[in-house]
Amino acid sequence: MLTLITGGSKCGKSRMAEALAVSCGPPLYYIATMRPFGAEAEALIERHRRQREGKGFVTVEKYADIGRAALPAGCCALLEDVGNLLANEMFTAKAPRPAENITAGVVGLSKRAANLIVVTNEVGCDGFAYPPETEEYIRLIGEINRRLAEAADTVIEAVCGIPLILKGERPKCL
């Protein structure tokens, strides 16, 4: 089962995703995509580690080529998050066709895992004009989100910590 959780910055996506994953039961895997590239990233990574502490997650760090993440068949996995993964693919790995690679990789993982919960971000709704690289990032994350929403069994938008079900049924844990 593939569940996509989307929303703006600091809206409760991670907490929802973790609650959903924990409700699935073990074995639990957390696929971390944020590269520790500075003090702010390190602080966010540490906050997320503390948030997951004691919940039974095995952390797998995978910054690019997500389809090759080491997951056992039948597990429950939480992938956090598509925005970091896209930035890594675009700006660090300079991968060709990052939207296709990420979408295919996530769909492939969803076939291996019994439950895959994917956290993504809503960006580009502010109406501002950005430099061309940022505009391309916004376009690609929108494309990835659309493709993953089509493939997902459940799509949830987090708004002020409230789960809004956009597709599928509300999970019992939320």
Provide the percentage of residues in the chain whose pLDDT is more than 70.
99
* pLDDT tens string 74-98: 999 999 999 999 999 999 878 889 9
Residue extents of the structural domains in the chain: 2-167
Q: What is the mean pLDDT of the chain?
A: 92
The residue with greater pLDDT, 20 or 127, is 20
Please return the burial class of 76, using the count of CB atoms within 10 Å of its CB with bins 0-12, 13-18 and 19+. buried
Is the pLDDT assigned to residue 125 strictly greater than 80?
Answer: no
Half-sphere exposure of 74 (CA within 13 A, CB side): 1
**Per the structure block, which two tokens stand in for 69?**
């993440």
pTM of the model as a whole: 0.92
Please give the Cα distance from 166 to 90 (Å, whole number): 28
CATH H-level, domain 2-167: superfamily? P-loop containing nucleotide triphosphate hydrolases (3.40.50.300)
